Each structure stands twice: as structure tokens, then as C-alpha cells.
Amino acid sequence: MRKLAFGLAALTLVGGALTGCSSTSAAGASTSPQEAAAKLKNQTITLVVPFDPGGGYDAYARMVAPKLGDELGATVIVENRPGAGGILATNEVVHAKPDGKTLVLLNGPGHLGAAIAKTNGVLYDAKKMTYIGQISSEPDVLVTSKSSAITSVDDIRGKRFAATGPGSNEYIDAVVLNQQLGMNNQVVTGFKSSNEASLNVIQGNVDLHSRSLGSQQPGINAGDLKPILVIGENTGEKEINGVQNLVDAVKDDQKELATLHTKLISSGRLLAAPPGMDTGTLQAIREAFKKVMTDEAFVKAATDAKRPVHYTSGDDVQKLVNDVMGSPQEYVDLITKAYAG
Amino acid sequence: MSTEMIHPAEDADASGSRSRRVHRPDLIITSVLLLVFIVAFLMATGWRDLAAYFPLGVSGMGAIASASFLVRVLFFPPKPHSPEPDVPGAAKSVAEQEYEFFKNLSKRDWITSICWLGGFFIALVIFGIYVAVVAFTAGYLRYQAAKSWWFSWIYAAVLGGVIYGIFEITLKLPLPDGLLGLG
Amino acid sequence: MLDAIWSALGEAITPMSLLMLLIGVVIGFLVGILPGLGGAVTLALLIPVTFGMDPVPAFSLLLGMYVVSAIAGDFTSILFGIPGEPTAAAMVLDGYPLNKKGQAGRALGASLASSAIGSIFGAILLMALIPVMRPLIMSISAPELFAAAVLGLTFIASLSGGSIHKGLVMATVGVLLSLVGIDPNLGIERYTFGSLHLWEGIGIVPVVVGLLGGAEVLQSMLDKDGETKTIVAPHLGGILVGVKDSFRHWWLMLRASAIGAVLGMLPGLGGSVSQFVAYGHARQTSKRPEEFGNGSIEGVIAAGATTTAKDGGHLVPTIAFGVPSGASMAVLLGAFLILGLNPGPEMLGKNLDVTLSLVWIIVLSTIAAVILGYLLIRPLAKLTSVTGRLLVPFLVAMLTIGAFSNTSSLDDVWIMLVFLAIGVLCSRFRWPRIPLLLGLVLGEILERYFTVSYSLFQFNWVSRPGVIIVELIIAAMILFTAVRVARKKRASKRELLTIGGHV
């Protein structure tokens, strides 16, 4: 009986503590960047990656984290919190304290796309989040198999797109292309990963596949894939040199939407923080981030590691977010369609 | 099949007088599963084509499989096996041993264990992994394993320390830090 | 070619490479033993270390770690009944019962020996496939994956324990659970009940840890005087007995290796399917199927050989087309790119030496793991003589951390607890657990690749060569089982007559 009593006691003791304690902390008043920087010294900053380890986001985060830590005199640890295509982690981060100790690496197109489409599960206002800056930006590239008869964007009518599932960047591209080029091409979904979709393009089972340049490069370099169209700003890499751009491929009345979509794609990978960060802390982190991103050695190392960086300041990112979030209804409808499947 | 002959699939306590009676646990489990499948089927009817076909098929099949098993449990209870002959413990299959082990526990055994486990997980949510592990270890060893306080605290400290060393220092992987953020 | 093979060996045994290999092996052991802490996370953590290294030492560290973590994962399964990796679930089924019988040493020895052979088998297959790798992968698409998953389904019967009917019901529950999440075609939430965490489905790690490990932990907690464990001092000489057992069953070991390696080549199938296929196959073809689940050494050998043989197979699509067959391979693929290697023809031509050195790295790290494992078995086997209750705090912490580290979320801890309860109920009321696990692993693959196959080829895919091969295997297996069952029935009837109805 004694053991039972202790078991029960253990339970009630712990249960009682639940009601007894609660953590409270007052929001800090606005501080100067110097004070804020001093506050972050020797602290542990968590950089949340809303995806599994091993992907591009994880790799970028792990590349930037130690440098940012050096710059701030703090320890930046990377934490993978995959789920719901990044929405889960973002929902959590917006509720964290905006004290600079929680940062998140966002998938720009996915983050903003979900917010525009107001898809199920989005519990945050993308405009209110605090943006530290952009880490990288690369265009999407539409490819086909090397042996395919398709040679340019004029040949793609009636061909089939491959994509993992609705709401993925590649699916959004397919829906946007269909609308902008006045096509009604089938999108074959259900591939487990974007690499698998790509393999099926190489095999000739499906014709077209659009995803980020970095992911397409190995296939193009191996001679298995050929680029057809660039979606987003052409950054001039040799693989896509001279390839037609979406903005030039569409009719005049579609130019505006094509430009908006270019903006969405070029939002790239964004470093962000919970909403409501005081200006001092924000400035301190933005400064440190800028120093990292403009450090020549870092930029070169990143390029060598096939993870090219592209810096945009937090202010400009905020503007871009506001632009995209203020898109005309036509574009909102289009993106919403791309999430509804 | 062959294994059915080695360890009868149905309850061993269906001895002579209570032969051919309905096996209650199986009845309950099968009914619950049948209900789950039916609910799953109904939910799936609300979805559109490609998203619905497979769930409809699976829950339909599950409902049929569990309904037919329910019929078996209700109307065709297995013939009572001759009570287990004196099979020495070592010759019994592991599943059998495990089954008998769990069967022979008293209600109090269950409640005690569930309270300890429940206490651990509640502590985990509130205080985070370190407090939960250390408190649970020390308490459990002292009161359930009847070890001395000394031993219990040293074990607890070492366990907590090893976890800290591996996850916090070496790998820098997050662990549950509780509502109070003590991690 | 032969020259290239030897020069690749030369690269793999430079002091730097060997040093990295040893570090990798040690880390791999630690990671493998801790449940939940998988190869993928650790690989991601190690990637920054390889910045600026040459490819061969870098892969010695990464691949060495990865190969060894699979071998060490089996150790946890045998010692504590908690799978150290999701791919070590089948090892629990017979390895842990052997431990309970006081034969931990034998089980560890057999698992180590079969893992080593499996790993080397996979490496040799990888090398042998170099000339035909690309055409081979060109012919594998969704239909082949679907067919392989159907093949996996046929093992439900032999994994059901007592009642096939119960097994069928549980497998269907598993398939139903695999549907939880966002559907892959229309993006509709299915059975998520408003939880964002469930959008990506129920993770295999918390399920395996809870379903298999949970019941064991609860048993240790409830076990007043260590009566569930046979009180036999760990049979130390057993290690060599286990090694000998493996080689006595060399044919099974090779078949299990082949299953692991071939299924490993299919990108998208994942490593957790092949272990059950190999295990089910071993049981079907065994002369003593009734021992399976009760400490059959054949079960240990099949599970051990498959888990490591898959690594060689996994590398095939990764090298040939840059299509990784799982999270770990995705991280390795990242490493390829960082090191300036382009998967595809280059890896089979200009950088052939790197590909060949990967083969050597697998072989060398396996050898290192065998030596390290052999040294560790004795102290580890002694752990099993520690009475149940002393281990409880350690095991509870392992369960929790294992489940949590899946996605760094407490939700996974709750999922683990739910499956812990299911596992205990299954043991208590004699319902089979393994079909549930198999259904969960296969369900998603079945749906996904059926719809993709249909979208791509309508029904023309049934006549693809790869699919026909799998169909023939399934038919042969059903025939084989039917003949065996019929024969056994006749034999047991005769036996009953002679002994007089005593079972």
C-alpha cells in the first residue's frame, strides 16, 4: 500500500505545482542598440528551422548560425521543428518573446504564399513579423528531360507538370504557369520528394518540373535535364544563362502578375523573429546579420559550398512582404487555387 | 496455423466449466476498432475524389475485417483447449510469458506504475526534462526499488549529467524544457 | 576497373581517412545506441565539420558514422527491447527474447556477424552495379514501389503471431493511421483533428519506440522480483556461439542481405520496410517458424543482415541520379554537392574513384564496428543482469528523448505514450503489434504510389518489367507457403495421431 501511496503522492505533488507556479515577465522597454547588444552577449539564441535536417534550409541555418553567434557574442543553436510545411514552427515562433533569443529561417514563397492564400492552420500575420534580412534568393527553373522534344516555353502546352503536392513551391509554379500562359496542363502530384519528381522527369514519365535553381543545377550539369524557363530574377548562373524568363514569356496583360510572382519567388530564404521586437534589439541583430552576410570570406565559403548567399536588408524584406501581401485579388485567387489542389 | 497449436490464441482461463463463453476483452477491443473504422469511413465520405478513395477503401475493409472478427468472437468462440499441461516456464513462448505476466498483475500494481509514469510526464511538461528525470529517478529508486537515498541521488545526478553532456553540450539538440523554461 | 578499385582502397586508408573513419565509427555507435537520435540528424550536425576536407576523408566520417549507427541500433533492440533506430524494430522481435532467456551474448554476436556480412554484401552489390546503375534506376518508378509495398503486405500473415484474423485487423488499423496528415494529391487534411503536428503524419520513430519499447519499460516497472527475466548469468561464451550461428545460416544471411540491398535501391521505400520483409521471409522459410518471436536466432540474423545491407542499396540512386532514398541520404547528397561532386555520370566516370572509395569506406567501417562491437559486447551484456527496476529511470528517459528528438516536439512524446498504451494492451490481450507497424509503414507507400502510377501510366504499368518480377515473386511466395502449410498440416496430423493429441 505504501508504494501506491507514494505513486499517488508523486502525481498530486507535480499536479499541484501546475497551478502554483506561473511564469511572468514584463516586456522590456525600448533600448538602444548598444544596450540590446550587451543584453544578448553570452546568451543562447535559438534559430528555428521549420524543416527536417538535411535540406537546404537546414544547411543555410547551420552555415549562418556560428557566424551570427560570433558577431553577437552569443551562441546560436539550430533547432529543427518540421511540420505542416513550416507553418507549425512559424505559428510557434510568433508566440515566442521578441527578445532576440528566438529567430526563424523562413521559406519566403511558402511562408508568404500560405499567408496570402490564408490556408488552414496559418495563425500569424506575415506583415507583423519582424524581418532581420534575406539569406539567399534564387529563381525557380522549369526543366524537362534532356531527350524531350520540348525546346522552349512555346512547346509546353498540353504537357504534364510533376509536383509533390498542393501548396509546395513547385505546385504553385505549375498553377501560375497554367494561368499566365493560358494553359490547362495536368499537374501530377503525390511524389514523395521533389527529387523523386525530378527522377520521373529524367525518366520521361512526366514532362515538366519547376523548382529552385540550386536543386536543378546537379541534374542540368549531369546532362539529364535541360532548362526551359526561369521564374524569378535570373541571377546569371551558367546553367540558366540565356534561358527565357517568365516575365518575357507572358502576354502584356499578364506582366503585372508575372512580376508579382517573381517577387514572391525572389523572397527566398528569410531570417525573421517574433512580432513586436523593440527597435534597439532589432537594430543590433540586423547589424550583426549584415556584417555576417557582407563578410567576403563568408560569401566565398558559402559559394564554394554550393550555398550561394544573397543579402537583402530587413527593411527591404519588410517592404517586399508588404508588397506581396497587398497583392491584387487576381493573384490572391491564383495562389489560393494553388493551395486548394 | 502452426503457432496456433503451440500457444492457443484465445484465453487460457476458459477452463472446463466456463467453456465456449464469449471472450470479453476481444469483444471490447473488436467493437472499439469497428467503431473507429466506421467513424473513419464516415469522415472520409466528406472528402473529394483522390483524397477519399483510399481512406474509404481502407476503413471499409477494416470495418469488414473487424465485423467478421466480432461475429467470430460472439458466435464462434474457440473450443476450450485442454488446460495448459505443466509446461515449464522456459518452454513457454515469450508472448505467452508476457501475456501471463500482465494478466497476473493486481490493480494496485497498475495504478502505482501509471501514477509514477504519469507523474514523470506531467513533471516533464511543467519543469522540463532535467527536473523530471532527476526527481523521477531519485524518487523511483528510493521508493520502488528500495535503494538508499545516497544511491538514488547519485544515479539521478549521473543520468541527468549524461543527458546534459550529450544533448546540451555535445550535440546542441533541444530537449523538452517545460512550461517554466528550466531546460 | 581493378586498378581503380585498388587505388580507391589506397585513398580510403590514408591516415587522415582512417582517423575520420574511427571518429565516425565511435560517434555512430553512440548515436545508434540512443533511440530516436537518428543518423540523419547526426549527419546534419557533422556536415559543417567536413567543410574544406577532401571527399574521401569527409565521407569516411559521414558514411562511417551512418553505417555503424545501423549496426549499433540493433544492440539497443537486443539489450533493452527498445529499437535504437526505426530500422532496428525487427531486431526487437527475437533479439530481446533471446536476451530474456539469458542469451544476450549470443544474440549480440549473431547480430554483429550478420550486420557485418550484410553491410559488406551491400557494398559489393554497389560496386557490381556501377556499370548498370543508371539504366537500372531509369526503370524504377512509382509502379515498382507500389509492387514492392504489396509484396510487403503479404507478410502480414507470417507476422501475426497467433491469429491471422487479428493480424489483418491490426494491419488495417496501421494503414488507416498512415493516412493521417495532409493528403499528397489534393492537400486535404485527413484525420488530423485540427492538429498541425499531424499534418505530416504520424512519425515512425515515436510509434516504434512506444509500441515496442513501451511495453518492455512498463514490464520492468511492474516486475517486482525480476521474474520476467530468466536469471541466468549472461552467457559470455555466447558471443562466439552467435557468430557461429550466423555462419551456419549463411544462406539465410545472404538472402536477407539481398532483400535489404535490393529494396534499399528503391528510392522512396524507406529502410523500415525491408526489415519486415526479410524477417517475414526468414520465418516463412524456416524449419522452425514457431521459434520466431520467442528468440529465434534466424530472426536475429535476418533482421541484422537487412538493416546494414540497405546502405549499399541506398547509395545507388543517390550516386546515379542524386535521388536520395531517405532523410539520411538527403544529407549525404548535400555533402556530395558541398564537396564539389555531381551525382550522375560524373560519379561513374570522372569521379569513379570517389564512388569506389565509398564502397571501401563501408567495408572498413564495418570492420572497425565489428572490432569495437566485439569489445563492447561483454560489458554491454553484463548490463542485462542489472535488475529491471534499476534500469527503469534510464529506460523512461530514453523513451522520452527518443520520441521527442523526432521533431523536437512534445507532441511526439504524446504519440509515443498512445502507442505505449496500445502496445501494452496488445500484450495484455494477445493482439499482434507488428502488423500494425507494418501497416503504418506500408500504408502511405501503397496509396501514394498507386495514385502516382495511375496518374503517370493509367493501368499500363502492370506490365512493366520490374512490376512483373515482383508479381512473380509474390505468386511464388504464396505458392511456396501454401505447399508448406499443406505439408505441415499433414505432418502434424500424423504427429497428433502418434503422440495422442498432446500439443
Output the nine-digit C-alpha cell for A169.
513551391
* DSSP β-ladder status, A102-107 and A44-49: parallel
Residue A141 pLDDT? 94
**Chain centroid to CA A194:** 15
Q: Do B48 and C186 touch (CB under 8 A)?
A: yes
Contact assignment for C196 to A83 by CB distance below 8 Å: yes
- Measured between CB atoms, does C229 come within 8 Å of chain B? no
Question: C82-116 pLDDT, tens per residue?
Answer: 888 888 889 998 998 888 888 888 999 999 999 99
Distance from CA of B153 to the nearest CA of A (A): 17
pLDDT tens by residue, C341-359? 888 888 888 889 899 999 9
Q: Give the separation between CA A119 and CA C89, rounded to whole angstroms.
A: 37
Q: Please identify which residue in the block is written with the cell numbers 519566403.
A: A108
- Look at the domain A2-137+267-326 and name its fold: D-Maltodextrin-Binding Protein; domain 2 (3.40.190)
Instruction: Give the sheet arrangement for strand A225-231, strand by strand.
Output: A209-212, A140-145, A225-231
CA distance B58 to C443: 9
Of C41, C141, C268, the CB nearest to A203: C141
**Do the Cβ atoms of C488 and B65 come within 8 Å?**
no
Cβ <8 Å between A198 and C448: no
Chain B residues within 8 A of A13 when measuring between CB atoms: 119
Looking at the predicted structure, is the pLDDT value of residue A61 above 60? Answer: yes
Cα–Cα distance measured from residue A269 to residue A320, given in angstroms and rounded to the nearest whole number? 13
Flag whether pLDDT at B13 surpasses 80.
no
How far is Cα C412 from Cα C210, in angstroms, rounded to an integer? Answer: 10
Three-state SS for chain A is: CHHHHHHHHHHHHHHHHHHHCCCCCCCCCCCCHHHHHHHHCCCEEEEEECCCCCCHHHHHHHHHHHHHHHHHCCEEEEEECCCHHHHHHHHHHCCCCCCCCEEEEEEHHHHHHHHHHCCCCCCCCCCCCEEEEEEECCCEEEEEECCCCCCCHHHCCCCCEECCCCCCHHHHHHHHHHHHCCCCCCEECCCCCHHHHHHHHHCCCCCEEEEEHHHHHHHHHCCCEEEEEEECCCCCCHHHCCCCEHHHHCCHHHHHHHHHHHHHHHCCEEEEECCCCCHHHHHHHHHHHHHHHCCHHHHHHHHHCCCCCCCEEHHHHHHHHHHHHCCCHHHHHHHHHHHHC
Q: C499 burial class (0-12, 13-18, 19+ CB within 10 angstroms)?
A: exposed
Which of C44, C186, C268 is the closest to A196 by Cβ?
C268
Q: What mean pLDDT do residues C313-340 have? A: 86
> Cβ contact (<8 Å) for B115 and A11?
yes
| pLDDT recorded at residue B11 | 44
- Given CB atoms, is B71 within the 8 Å cutoff of chain C? no
The distance of A42 to chain C (nearest Cα, Å) reads: 22
Residue B182's pLDDT is: 59
Element (H, E) at C250: helix C250-265
DSSP B146: -
Residue A26 burial (C-beta neighbours within 10 Å; 0-12, 13-18, 19+): exposed
| Confidence (pTM) | 0.86
Q: Which residues of A touch C199 (CB under 8 A)?
A: 83-85, 87-88, 121
Q: Does A13 touch chain B (CB under 8 A)?
A: yes
- B127-149 tens-digit pLDDT: 999 999 999 999 999 988 888 89
> Of A67, A159, A205, which to mutate for an interface test with C (greatest number of C Cβ within 10 Å)?
A205
Whole-angstrom distance, CA of residue C288 vs CA of residue B2:
10
C50 half-sphere exposure, CB direction, 13 A CA radius: 33
Q: Between C271 and C16, name the one with better pLDDT.
A: C16
- CB within 8 Å: C427 and B105: no
State the pLDDT confidence band at C407, using cuts at 50, 70 and 90. Answer: confident
Task: Tell me what pLDDT residue B109 has.
Answer: 85
Contact A196 C186 (CB under 8 A): no
Interface check C456 vs B, CB under 8 A: no
Question: Which chains contact B through at least 3 pairs of Cβ atoms less than 8 Å apart?
Answer: A, C
Contact check, Cβ <8 Å, B127/A17: yes
**Residue C142 forms contact with A (CB below 8 Å):** yes
- CB proximity B38 to C under 8 Å: no
How many contacts (CB atoms, under 8 Å) link A and C? 157
**Nearest by CB to B175, which of C101, C401, C430?**
C401
C-facing residues of B in 95-154 (CB < 8 A) are: 95, 97-99, 101-103, 105, 109-110, 113, 116-117, 120-121, 124-125, 129, 133, 136-137, 140-141, 144-145, 147
As a whole number, mean pLDDT of residues C152-166 equals 84
- pLDDT for residue B181: 64
The answer to whether the Cβ–Cβ distance between B119 and A11 falls below 8 Å is yes
Q: So what's the pLDDT on residue C291?
A: 85
* Residue bearing the bigger pLDDT, B43 or A302: B43
Report CB contact under 8 Å: A306, C43. no
Cβ of A7 within 8 Å of Cβ of B172? The answer is no
What percent of chain C stands above pLDDT 70?
A: 94
- Cα distance between residue A6 and residue C105, in whole Å: 37
Q: Do B50 and C428 touch (CB under 8 A)?
A: no
Q: Residues of C with CB below 8 A from B36's CB?
A: 173, 176
* pLDDT tens figures, C35-57: 767 777 788 888 878 877 888 99
Residue in A1, A14, A23 closest to B123 by CB? A14
Tens digit of each residue's pLDDT (9 = 90 or more) over C447-473 = 999 999 999 998 888 889 889 999 999
How far apart CA B26 and CA C162 sit, in angstroms, is 14
Q: Is A196–C408 a contact, with Cβ atoms under 8 angstroms apart?
A: no
Find the closest chain B residue to C232 by CA distance: B90
Decide which of C503 and C297 is more confident. C297
Topology match between the domains A2-137+267-326 and A140-264: yes
Instruction: Decide if B172 and A77 are in contact by the 8 Å CB cutoff.
Output: yes
Length of chain C: 503
pLDDT given for residue C233 in this prediction: 53
CA-based angle A138:A139:A141, to the nearest 5? 130
The full set of domain ranges for chain A reads: 2-137+267-326, 140-264
Classify domain A140-264 at the CATH topology level: D-Maltodextrin-Binding Protein; domain 2 (3.40.190)
Question: How far apart are the CA of B126 and the nearest CA of chain C, in angstroms?
Answer: 12
Please answer yes or no on whether A11 and B122 come within 8 Å at the CB atom.
yes
Predicted confidence (pLDDT) per residue in A112-164, tens digit = 888 888 887 788 888 889 999 999 998 999 999 999 999 988 899 999 999 98
Kindly identify which residue of chain B lies nearest to residue A21, measuring between CA atoms.
Answer: B180
For the segment B86-95, the average pLDDT, to the nearest whole number, is 57
C-alpha torsion angle, residues B145, B146, B150, B156 (rounded to 10):
20
pLDDT of the residue at B3: 39
> pLDDT band at residue A169, thresholds of 50, 70 and 90?
confident
Q: Do A80 and C41 touch (CB under 8 A)?
A: yes
pLDDT over 90 at C227, yes or no: no
